[in-house]
Structure 1
Amino acid sequence: MTSYRWARLAPAFAALCAILQACGDDDSGPGAGPGVTNDGGGGGDDAAPGDDVQAEPPRKPSPLPTHGSSIALTPDDSHAVVANREAGTVSVFAIDWASGSPVLTKSAELPVGGDVSNVAVHPSGRFALALSRIEQKVVRIDDLGGAPKLGPSLATGSEPTGIALTPMGDQAWIANWIDGTVFVVDTEAMTLKSTVDLNATLAASGLLGAVAARPALSHPRSVAITNNGNNLDADETVYVTEFYAQHKVPLLADGSNADVAKVGVVYAIPVKDPNDVTIIELPPLADLGFKDHKNGTAGCFPNQLLSINIQGSFGYVSSICASPKGPGGPFTGPAAADCIDDGACPGALAGSCVAGKCTTNCTTNAQCGANGGVCNTTTFVCAPNTANVKTTLAPAVSIIDLGAAKTIATVNLAREFETSFDARNVPNDGNRRMPLTAMDVGFVPGTVTAYFPAKGADAVFRVDFNATYEASTIDGVGDPKAPFINLTPAGVDASRIGRLPTGIAVAFKTHTEGSTKRFAFVNGENTRNVAVLDLEAQDLAGRSEGTPNVVSSSDLPTDPVAKTRLEGERLFATGLGRWSLRGQAWAACESCHVDALSDNVTWFFPRGARQPNSLDATFDSKNPNDSRFHNWTAVQDEVSDHEMGAIRGTMGGVGAIVKNGALDPVNRIAIDRIGQAGLAGSSAQAADPANPGSLAEACVVDDWAQVTAFFKSIRSPKRPSTLDAAKVDQGRALFQEGNCQGCHGGPKWTTSKVFYTPDSTNAVNNALKDRSWSAAVLAASYPPSLLPAVTPLNQNMRYNGTNGGLDSMICALRPVGTFGVAEAAVGVAELRQDMATPGQGNELDGKGYNVPSLLSMTVGAPYLHAGQVRTLEALLASPFEVHREALKSGFLAPGTPDREAKVAALVQFLLSIDEAAAPLAEPALGPNGGSFCAP
């Protein structure tokens, strides 16, 4: 029997097992604690003849494979356990099924530590386990069916993110995201049994080049464990997702293979032999199903692997599939042509030639894009062509044949739902939503019907997979009753909507005799509640009766500052409303910044090939008035500057600097044309409804102020727990010896700092174009090789030329020999979004890059502006000598005594840099570096 054909029977077999296990159920139920034996209170081990001895009930495995989530049910559906991530608590709900529809009553809310990532319930239903990323521990919650209380806890590795229990519940497998390890924990004793080092596995795979195993090479995120239905755990397999995609082939110089140069990774770990770890690759998708505006095909590779679950003999992995090759964002037609009179311009309209440039740009649709181009024959201007928005990223699911240890398909769920919406004639507006940021996947037991809670869409999406995968992958999406389950339907009280869903738990059973009606429970992270779904009605349970079944899991903040920050976090994560194309959840800020960090993808943006910066160093966590310049060439000085490139551009949204709240692009305030975008003016003042700059048009929403408040709260990941303290100290000394603090000193671990207050009048911003730093660097004996401009007239704080595509805060740039330089196995394409124009960073005047922070080095690989190097070890080797020796000639050069050990120590120090690490002071401007930016 092939694994494909076994899949026909596996779901039914699993359901049969669950039914048989439920028959004759006489265990002590969720009320008993772990390991409790019902011995009637006697203390002896031997029973005397005639004694009435109550035997311990037989142990039973979980009815289904297990995986971690932010919400979980006991196998009898009598209790739900919910992670309240930001509140730092776990709530336990008792569920009453007497009416046939679940009624939830919160029996406890228990503090377990900040950033609760995952929960899991023991198959007995007696206790649950919860992970705290901030406190780095796993906490047991006992007596779920009685008076839930905190049980023992155990220290984990750094940033635990995923947990799953073996079918019998004896072991918990915990993914330590920063350490790169998986803990195996005895759930009754709450002791560590063993540690699986996935760093060693990834290092040995060759995907990272030649590197020795050490912490933070691997980034295990989610966990799932098989269940063959017997009472043995040793014959099961644990599957763990590697969060970031890995380089498989070098990037070509023209960037043509950028969409398919990486692969996703899942680790398979046999329970009986945890040292025998193997890797299953998730290959790239050659065609994600949409064409760009040039009618070109786009692929994507699975990245940011968000969840994994198992049904039958297949594993299902949700991810954000990245398609970084240009073009990207709405295409607005050919650039303005030069002209001497109106007759030289397209359409020859009177007044179309202005200051030597045409204001018209088309006469045919083809000029506006081979796919979807429309030229307005009245104005002779291209309508924005949004085809590229759909070829940037995709909510994907990869299906793994577990028996064959091979990925059989990766599917772009957005393509599936778009096709379904078209067939159903769903209006092409906000009535459509894509399953953006699918944080979990739950299956209806005994079927291949899955439900994906989409954090970026405030909805749950049904997908019916094919039972065998011999002829197709997906049989259908959505349901005739509803294309998706909307957690925020119109007309519902705000207390009964669910925002930013992160987990789903489908009831194990139906609870009305003779009925197939089943329910599911969804954790709304932002609204801190649990929404009950009626899967038969494909709706919020109770909504048709007037009161949706949605219950609070934890109180929302009442402090105005906390409320503003919470709303900013929601806006950062959503693709609805004004934040993506037609409000349909095609993308969100979080799409490239899960946990507000970096997705580690090299995108081809308007300024060149760029890795998104982690956002934790945007502001000094101890001084919210200290911020760094944004992006790799210091082209923005305020968070709201992302209105243009990210929101209106890449994501295709209306944006949040608007003169009218209606979701129509005509309501945008043209901040680029009025000098309030990028380094010009102040987009923050333009985004402020109070209109402090007295601009002609006032913004009517304050979304960017809320997003900025969220940015100021972003935390850096904690350092690995397995670092060698002596090596960290040695590495710190080496860091100072190399004068690395000359670029990476200060509280943000970077010299990049916005040194003025952006001004809507442009008086301050424009003055920087004429403010020279030449005399200062000369007097201080600053190294000439690190100067970002060589022409004295152009040695000014800000770019003073006329090419808007080169505007940058030049004084913040440092040329350290990284343009066009890469590991041979990685490659680099220094190109802009059109995949033809050279990227910014190698100009004679305006050379180099905005110094990145060293916070989040644990999750920042590959490194540098275009992701040219996979490891810190490689960054300290050839061909990156110029960077390594930027402020000390010969630093760690080949031949240095004990070089290998010193490099290892320096790497340990770099990995130790988190918010608790004491920063090194930035030196005064001089031969050892420092900043020469000044107002």
Structure 2
Amino acid sequence: MHLFKRRRLWLAGGLLGYALLVLALVASRNVNAATAGLAPSTAPGIAAFDGPTNSSPISLSADKTHIWVVNPDDDSVSVIGNLDATPSVIATIRVGDEPQGVTLDAGVGAYRAYVANAADNSVSIISVSSSNASSVNASVEKTLITGAEPWNVVSSPDGKRVFVSNSVQDTITVINAETRNIIGNVDVRNSVCNDPDRSRHFQPRGLAVTLNNDRLYVTRFLSFTGGPAPKQATDDGKLGVVCQLNINTAAPDIGGYTVAGSVALAPQVTGFVIPPTGPETKAYPNQLQSVVVRGNQAFLPNIASSTAGPLRFNVDTHAFVNVIDNAATGTPTDAGAAKFLNLHLGARTPEAGKTKLFFSNPWAIAFTNQTGAGSAYVVSSGSDLLVKVNVSAEGKLDFTSPPATTRYIDLNGEEAANSGANAGKNPLGIVIRNNRAFTMNYVSRNLSVVNLDTDAVTQVIKLTNLPPAGSLDEVSQVGKEMFFASRGVFNRPDGTTVSTRDRLSSEGWQNCASCHFAGLTDGNVWVFETGPRKSIALNGTFSPHNVNDQRPLNYSAVRDQVQDFELNTRTVSGINLPAPVNGSVFDPNHGLLISDTGNINFAPTVINNFNLSNSGRQQVTVTLPGSTVAVPAQDAINEWVRRAIRTPNGVLTSDEISGGIPAADVREGRKLFFKAGCQACHGGTKWSNSTIDFTAPPAAADLSVETNPPAAAGFNPVGAQSLFRQLRDIKSFDLGSAANPIGSNIGALEKNTAGLDALGKDYNGDGKGAGYNPPSLLSIYHLPPYYHNGACETIACVLTNVNHRASGLKPGTADPLASASNRAKLELWLQTLDAETPFPTNLRVREHDIFLDPAVPFANTQVTVGVNVELFGTRADLADVAEGNPIKVRFVAPGLNSEVELPLSAFTQDFGTAKVTTIWNVPPDTGRKNIVVTIDSTGVLNDDPNDNTATRRVQVKNAPADRTAPVVTEVTISDDTPFNANDQIANSPNVKVRFKATDPASPNGGETSGLGAYCIVRYSFNTSERRWDEEKCDFKTLPTADAGTSDTFTVDTVLPPRKGAAYAFVWLRDKAGNITSKPGLDFISVVPAANENVTLDRNDTLIIRLRLNAGQSASFTVTPSSGDVDMAAYNEAGNRVAVSANNGTATETVAVSATANNTFFQIEIKAQELSVFRIATTQGAAVELAEAVNTIGSRKVVSATPLTSGPPPEQTAIGEVEEVYLPLVTK
């Protein structure tokens, strides 16, 4: 799955002013494979599938000649042919972003494939004009926008209709397969399937059509409360739901496709009793990814949840396959305990000679036959297993050797056929053809072929390449493998005596994805050590726009590093030793961390959340097939979370798709978000102001614990440490109970696994423990329930919470959300919020932004004090929030207390700066003085208080005789030898700076002290913070003037390490201490040599600036080895003059040429995901370069305006006191 590439058009006045260049609803692309030897074109055959159909990432053609499989990380589909001989890839076809499902119509020889591109909100229609067993002639015929996050797609058995589940949009799109046009959409959210609360997010996912083409089944992915006792964190408080649609595949309009009703899947007894003397444990079906019809039954593999505790592997998650009776005819009903199966029960006693392994995360199922007795094979995606079970003629499932044994086929074993490059990791789909099964393996990017006569892997087919060895993408890939694996295979150094397999959970019972599908959430509230806690989606752990901005972990901020979850791997998914071995209670055969001595045979003696940092510790390693790099496994998980979890797209509006939610109301909802002060807790680029603002471990003063000092009488709280500064109290403790009611009072009880009082309340009166860590709002609509204890299952419920709303309002401010209509508008906007949503607006200031003119203040003089106020956001948002109220800037210093209005018109661009000044009558006493500047001092905006005040320390001196500042001009930069004053591109940051320096004569014959020193402040553009990062001004003695001159100096300097445009500001100081009022400056772009790799994180942009003279031109060609980058070129007026935005790793080229001297251009290279690429540059006369063709890929949008324009502000904090300017993490 890709990182994130939904390119929503920003609202009017948004950050980039994105303009849709081309929306290629009709496109054609060539197959990326040879079709030599293709048979003559055949006419489309008349056929139909011979059984019911179901959605899947892998699909078998109606004539059983080809298998199609999606490649989510490659934006492609592969076609497997030669199925009667040695199956092989015969074609790979580029489609949209992150394909997740594929289905085929019923044609023979000539047919069409439909591919659901989740991140693109689209379906690619591929036309196969002719084919045979070993080749296809295929191209993308058309792309349809269906709705947000289309995850699954299925064709009706008669091939007439195609159905798409838009998992965020809550709709089912119906496509006429004959015309390839959309008939319409069925709204499952606003239907009886979503009763009793139609404001719930249904999340349609798995699809299946009965053989007689009259019923479509749609699974609800996550379960909600229901049944006799609806309550969070109980084993029987939730229900699974499958929606039934009655369909008529001959109907030409949407009226022929209607919601008929739903089937509720009740909790079932798991068959495990933990502890042995305890009561029976129940679990409810959850994460219903797929549904498959066989005969008159529908089968639903799923990850069932037992949330009440105790929190340990053999209690909390189970491997269910639920069954619906009367699926094809009659009234569909839950078959219940009579037919369902908990696969884990069949793992208790393995077959002879096999390792005991449980079957984590059942994801798909396929059958050997459609009627009578037969076999079924269930994909265990977490354990990398194919699980075989028996099925009776009546549709009852059972083990191959009941009651405790069932056969499994290991796709990731120790034999040559299933290990190394042949290992099948994280299987997500299966098809059966004759006596062979084919599994799509997501993480390993291959296809396992299993002989069903011998139940053994006989072949593995590589689909796409793994990331380049040594790349960040490779590290992320290892992290992904660890996250989605319940077992794991690790490097085995010489002398190893402990296990280097199956270390991730006890006997493969569960993995991280068991509770965090795709890094998101299972929608459950679990009873943790700290109390009831919803599984937090990890997409908001790090900002998708700034990998260095991290939110503390868990609702009580009890962890500061992703690596801290080693404790979960060992104590939830595993078991500690009964007695210490080598000083450790941790099992040396389990977990990812090893002894801090580096001895793999010993476990670490200490693993905690704060006092000892877990990042970078000694740990087991993984080497991917084809690589020689041993990647540390635990740190790799952190990198995957940090860089690669994609935030799902928000709901599409009426501006984006017919039938979308009202765009006008969405725009009003955004304004209401700011008016209500929501950004006070949910600001920044990750939509949470909670941020790790220290280097681990934290200071003891930043930690609190509710048992020290002791809790008040009557309370017995949890004794865990937490980062109390990050907590915000909105009075949500015990929410959804009789004591703190909301909605139907479904909130979980505030007790932990041992019955202690849960965190979230200040039990000891020290003022530190009340409240919770504000969650990120990224894709919040798609990630229910809400609040730490799941007290609300809908955003509508959350917005009724008066205490919550009041927490963002300033005293005396009217509540704009008291109106139900306003709450509805805000809810609509929150449904659209995703990683492409314009950031919350904030005004900020830093020490470096405060300047003086003259630069050095002298006692008893008058100087101008100014500040460059930074706008982090759009001018339109700022105007909306301010609502005409004046924004004030306060200056405070000895003898200065001034408040100046900041006109909004002073910001000339989004994410720009505005200068505000006042006059300071410098006091007569000398020494160090503090100047304090506060932005929005009257509180018009609910901006971030952490960065709207800055203090600059200045040295006040007695005035010298010489008070005339020196002057610097003609600054140029070059890395060439000899020095090239017109140099535009540097291959190295080691450059020379040349400038002219003079010390003008003092007026009226006064003393002229002469030049003394210089400093160079170097800048590079920080995309995540939308600002030019500065370095310190370190004055050095001015060297001897260049030979033959008295006023020209050439000095060495090193530009910032960030590639791209860099500025050098030259400041001078004379011997009397006067400093130039404004610097001389120049820029140069550091572009690595053509054979050097450049790595960009997702959403990062490399900016290249250059000036060309008349008749000159330059071209830039980017060749990615992984990822996806886009390029655009802009002129000085901010107009785009060239663009290249292909999909995937296609080469990108832009060229610019000048017709006048000193023509400015800005080239932007933006990484849509973590990308590695090389840049080739060519410069010459305009006639020497062919004009680049503007290109754009399907569903790409490219900014119409540059990311930034102009140089950094010229007036900045330069003074005699040495000042170091360090970038601050921007949320």
TM-score (norm 1): 0.74
Corresponding residue number in structure 2 for 1:173: 163
Give the whole-Å Cα distance in 2 for the aligned partners of 1:870 and 1:408. 27
What is the alpha-carbon distance in structure 2 between the residues aligned to residue 893 and residue 816 of structure 1?
17
Match of 1:141 in 2: 126
SS at match of 1:751: coil
Write the distance in 2 (CA, Å) between the matches of 1:425 and 1:159.
44
Q: What residue in structure 1 maps to residue 727 of structure 2?
A: 813
Query: Structure 1 or 2: larger strand share?
Result: 2
Matching residue within 589, 594, 597 for 1:658: 594
Is 2:451 the partner of 1:461? no
Q: Counterparts of 2:509 and 2:814 in 1: how far apart (Å)?
A: 47
SS in 1 for 2:733: coil
Deviations 1:402-439 (A, max 9, x none): 23310112645333312452xx4667xxx122221222
Q: 1:405 aligns with which of 299, 309, 332?
A: 332
Q: Is the 8 A contact 1:481 1:538 kept in 2?
A: no
In structure 1, what residue type is equivalent to 2:115?
A: A
Query: What is the alpha-carbon distance in structure 1 between the residues aligned to residue 294 and residue 335 of structure 2?
Result: 15
Note the C-alpha offset of 1:490. Answer: 1.1
The percent of aligned pairs where both chains have the same amino acid is 23
CA offsets 1:890-930 (integer angstroms, 9 cap, x no match): 99999x79922211110011112111001114577997474
Provide the residue aligned with 2:345 in structure 1.
Answer: 416
Q: In the alignment, which residue of structure 2 is the partner of 1:7?
A: none
Between 913-922 and 289-298, the greater mean CA deviation after superposition:
289-298
CA distance in 2, matches of 1:82, 1:395: 25
Match of 1:205 in 2: 195
Q: Which runs of 5+ in 2 are unaligned?
A: 1-37, 249-255, 489-500, 576-586, 622-629, 653-659, 711-715, 737-741, 845-933, 948-1223
Match of 1:683, SS state, is coil
Partners in 2 of 1:579 and 1:913 — Cα distance?
39
What pairs with 1:761-780 in structure 2 (closer than 5 Å)? 764-769=698-703
Superposed, 1:422-571 pairs within 5 Å as 424=351, 431-446=355-370, 447-468=373-394, 473-474=397-398, 476=400, 483-492=407-416, 494-507=420-433, 509=434, 518-541=435-458, 549-558=459-468, 560-571=471-482
CA separation of 1:592 and 1:728: change in aligned 2, threshold 3 A: same
Which of 225, 234, 240 does residue 264 from structure 1 map onto?
240
Contact persistence 1:395–1:435 (CA under 8 A): yes
- Look up the match of 2:638: 708
Q: Is the contact between residue 236 and residue 267 of structure 2 (CA under 8 Å) also seen in structure 1?
A: yes
Shift of 1:856: 1.9
1:916 aligns with one of 829, 836, 842:
836
Aligned-pair CA distance for 1:180: 0.4
Which residue of 592, 611, 615 corresponds with 1:684?
615
Partner residue, 1:840: 759
- What is the CA deviation profile of residues 536-591 of structure 1, one whole-angstrom value per residue up to 9, with x for unaligned ones? 000012xxxxxxx1111112221521111111111001101477676522110000
Distance 1:597 1:480 in 2: 33
Matched, 1:669 2:604: yes
Q: Does 2:834 align with 1:856? A: no
Instruction: Return the letter of the residue paired with 2:461.
Output: V
Q: Which residue of structure 2 aligns with residue 394 of structure 1?
A: 318
Relative contact order higher in (CA < 8 Å, ≥ 6 apart): 1
Structure 2: how far apart are the matches of 1:159 and 1:660?
44
Structure 1 partner of 2:82:
95
- 8 A Cα contact 1:741 1:922, kept in partner: no
RMSD, aligned CA: 3.4
Counterpart-to-counterpart distance in 2, 1:830 and 1:667: 40
| Aligned equivalents of 1:450, 1:420: Cα separation in 2 | 20
- Contact 2:125 2:143 survives alignment (8 Å): yes
Structure 1 pair 597/477, CA: closer, same or farther in 2 (3 Å)? farther
Q: In 2 relative to 1, CA 495–204 (structure 1 residues): closer, same or farther, beyond 3 Å?
A: closer
1:129 aligns with 2:114: yes
1:312 aligns to 2:295 (yes or no): yes
Following superposition, the deviation at residue 258 of structure 1 comes to 0.3
Which structure has the highest helix share of the two?
Answer: 1
Cα deviation digits, residues 628-681 of structure 1 (max 9, x gap): 1000000111100011135432455821111399999x8321323xxxx21223
Match of 1:242 among 204, 220, 223: 220
Q: How much does 1:294 deviate?
A: 5.4
Residue equivalent to 1:84: 71
CA contact (8 A) 1:288 1:412 kept: no
CA distance in 2, matches of 1:832, 1:481: 37
Residues of 2 paired with 1:570 and 1:275: CA distance? 41
Post-superposition Cα deviations, 1:724-746, rounded to whole Å, max 9, x if no partner, equal 22112111111111111111111
| Corresponding residue of 1:830 | 749
Q: Which amino acid aligns with 1:619?
A: F
Separation in structure 2 between the aligned mates of residue 186 and residue 734 of structure 1, nearest angstrom: 40
Partner of 1:358: none
- The equivalent residue for 1:221 is 205
Counterpart of 1:620? 543
Aligned to 1:645: 568
Query: How far apart are residue 621 of structure 1 and its match?
Result: 1.2
Which secondary structure state, in structure 2, belongs to the residue aligned with residue 200 of structure 1? coil
CA 1:630/1:200 → structure 2, altered by over 3 Å: closer, same or farther?
same
Shift of 1:148: 2.6
CA contact (8 A) 1:462 1:478 kept: no
Structure 2 residue identity aligned to 1:887 = G
Question: In 2, distance between residues paired with 1:294 and 1:133?
Answer: 46
What is the CA distance between 1:495 and its match in structure 2?
2.1
Structure with greater Cα Rg: 2
Query: What SS does the corresponding residue of 1:258 show, helix, strand or coil?
Result: coil
Q: CA deviation at 1:709?
A: 1.2
Whole-Å Cα distance in 2 between the matches of residues 891 and 84 of structure 1? 55
What's the offset of the Cα at 1:448? 3.8
Tell me the TM-score normalised to structure 2 length: 0.57
1:31 positional shift:
7.7
Task: Classify the secondary structure of the residue corresponding to 2:651.
Answer: coil
1:777 aligns with none
Q: Deviations over 1:54-80 (max 9, x none)?
A: xx85x3321010011111112332211
How far the C-alpha of 1:830 sits from its partner, in A, is: 3.2
* Secondary structure of the corresponding residue to residue 259 of structure 1: coil
SS where residue 275 of structure 1 aligns? strand
The code of the aligned residue for 1:435 comes to: F
- Conserved? CA contact 2:188–2:194, under 8 Å: no
Going from structure 1 to structure 2, the CA distance change for 1:73 and 1:810 (only over 3 Å counts) comes to: same
1:758 maps to 696
Aligned amino acid, residue 454 of structure 1: S
Q: What SS does the corresponding residue of 2:695 show, helix, strand or coil?
A: coil
Alpha carbons 1:109, 1:554 under 8 Å: kept: no
Structure 2 Cα separation of the partners of residues 750 and 290 of structure 1:
40
Question: Does structure 2 conserve the Cα–Cα contact (< 8 Å) formed by 1:325 and 1:604?
Answer: yes
- Deviation digits for residues 89-138 of structure 1 (CA, Å, limit 9, x no counterpart): 001121241xxxx4123221111122111111222242221111111211
Residue 400 of structure 1 deviates from its aligned partner by: 0.2
Tell me if structure 2 keeps the 8 A contact 1:464–1:477: no
Does the 8 Å contact 1:457/1:576 carry over to 2? yes
What is the number of residues matched between the two proteins? 739
